[in-house]
């Protein structure tokens, strides 16, 4: 029986790919890294009214549900009831006084919007399935460690905050980090380069002491046997 091959690939390939990806991101403007659309404009405060509105709404929502003690269901029901009452009396008074009806938009969801949401969801689902397939069938140890470490980090952060607080922190970070990064990009990139060197050194040790000693593509070896 033939012994399974060992993974003799060096860690320099992973370091080079990481460095190349980091350099390619550094060459791109921040607006292009964020997608270059309307969302990027909001995150970089190029549309300050929209960014301020999002921040105020997020802060008000977090305060109502976390500090004031309201529940999501009660606030939603009361807001909808108030809206229905206002629209009802507005329509009745408009009919009696010969005034125009409330200026409501078309209350429907277009098929184009649903198709765009479905396409984006399909792309992300396929990415997750591709990662799961790569870990399961290809035996990619590096990818497995990255996914395991990321899931552990999410679990650890989730144990410190509840879901709503975590979403609020994400919104605040999304509206502040891109602006500060664009302003102090050179200093941040310098620190990231130093951090990348430390991570690469630690990964080299793990690769030499652990990863190279692990059998490569065990699944395919068993299948051929």
Phi and psi torsions of 6, nearest 5°: -95, 150
SS3 56: helix
Q: Is the pLDDT of residue 81 over 90?
A: yes
Identify which has the larger pLDDT, 105 or 96. 96
pTM of the model: 0.57
Measured CA to CA, the distance from residue 14 to residue 20 in angstroms comes to 10
Residue 6 β-bridge partners: 215
Q: Is the pLDDT of residue 161 over 70?
A: yes
Residue 144 neighbours by CB under 8 Å, 6+ apart? 135
Phi and psi torsions of 91, nearest 5°: -65, -40
């Amino acid at each position: 029986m033939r012994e399974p091959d060992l993974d003799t690939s060096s860690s320099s390939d992973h370091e080079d790919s990481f460095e190349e990806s980091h350099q390619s991101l550094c060459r791109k403007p921040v607006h292009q890294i964020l997608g270059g659309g309307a969302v990027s404009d909001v995150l970089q405060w190029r549309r300050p009214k929209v960014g301020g509105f999002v921040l105020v709404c997020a802060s008000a929502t977090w305060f109502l549900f976390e500090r004031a003690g309201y529940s999501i269901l009660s606030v939603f029901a009361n807001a909808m009831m108030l809206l229905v009452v206002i629209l009802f009396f507005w329509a009745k008074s408009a009919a009696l006084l010969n005034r125009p009806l409330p200026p409501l938009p078309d209350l429907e969801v277009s098929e184009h919007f649903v198709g765009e949401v479905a396409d984006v969801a399909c792309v992300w689902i396929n990415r997750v399935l591709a990662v799961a397939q790569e870990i399961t069938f290809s035996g990619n140890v590096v990818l497995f460690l990255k996914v395991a470490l990321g899931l552990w980090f999410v679990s650890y952060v989730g144990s410190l905050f509840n879901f709503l607080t975590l979403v609020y922190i994400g919104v605040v970070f999304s509206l502040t980090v891109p602006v500060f990064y664009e302003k102090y990009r050179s200093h941040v990139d310098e620190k990231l380069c130093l951090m990348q060197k430390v991570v690469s050194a630690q990964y080299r040790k793990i690769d030499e002491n652990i990863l190279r000693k692990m059998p490569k593509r065990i699944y395919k070896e068993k299948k051929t046997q």
